[in-house]
Homo-oligomer: A and B are copies of this chain.
């Protein structure tokens, strides 16, 4: 039996593969939030710790490149669980023959995003392999962080309204009535990659960006229960991960989902569900209903949150994530089996 593309595609096949073939074998070590949680970061001995390898194709695309993606993605994973980033690493696997100019652009892009987020790149590794052994350049960024200073205050606010399941922003924290905010428009990163790959004329740009400031603002208000960035498998997969871990359904209103025209056009052209397309610069956030409007208003003032919207809520009457379509019908938002777009990140 051989490993297939679907095993890394961000959907149900990947989830099974990771649980049965990886976590089952290498997991089980002592941690406050460990590998088996499959959350955005782990927490061990008070340290928030996360890793991601980036294999995106092409390495340059509208709105970013592999370097911007690698830095933003790892920073966003740290903040998604309630951490504040302390430092990130940069481990490069470079294909022999890569142009120095391209390499320099990527390094400068990494430096710029890290600086924007106020995070230092403090350790690294560099490998060069023969032509054909890697596709241009793959980058791994691991990240470390500490507990976000505002996290306890955030949960004090949550507790005004209900008991908290866990005092980190975990996928399993969500309860009846929590409002779901998308902090930006759906699928822009995936659409930008598709446009680049299939040479589609489009004004869509990747949303890749660090979300540390946006999370600071939300935690300052309080009431955030969970946050997650919808990368591989998009928002469809994210909602199903939440559903499974929090054991609750969702009602999402299609008309409230922010979608850019350009992204919509690419989805229609290629017959892809926008909810299955990756983002790299938005969070889905679950927040207590009492604070949803206030958080929304605050993050909409930031450029990285200007398209944010409340798109639905957690509802225990549903077993699934349900989409109320623009024409009034209802359908189940299924976790994609494989991926609409391989090598998206």
Contacts and interface: CB of A to CB of B under 8 A. Distances in A.
Interface of A: 1-9, 14, 17-18, 21-22, 25-31, 34-35, 41-42, 44-45, 47, 49-53, 55, 57, 86-87, 89-101, 103-104, 107-108, 110-111, 114, 119-130, 132-135, 138, 140, 142, 144, 146, 342-343
A29 B55 CA distance: 25
B120 A30 contact: yes
Majority DSSP secondary structure for residues of A touching B: mixed
Given A14-B126, A22-B126, A134-B134, 13 more contacts: A3-B97, A8-B126, A17-B126, A22-B107, A22-B124, A26-B121, A28-B120, A31-B120, A35-B123, A44-B87, A49-B87, A50-B89, A55-B129
Contact of A86 (B8, B47, B91, B92): B47
Given A21-B100, A21-B107, A122-B49, A128 B3 contact: yes
B34 A125 contact: no
Number of copies: 2
A99 B52 contact: no
A258 to B, nearest CB: 28
Contact of A29 (B3, B87, B103): B87
A18 to B, nearest CB: 6
A44 B94 contact: no
Contact of A134 (B114, B128, B133): B133
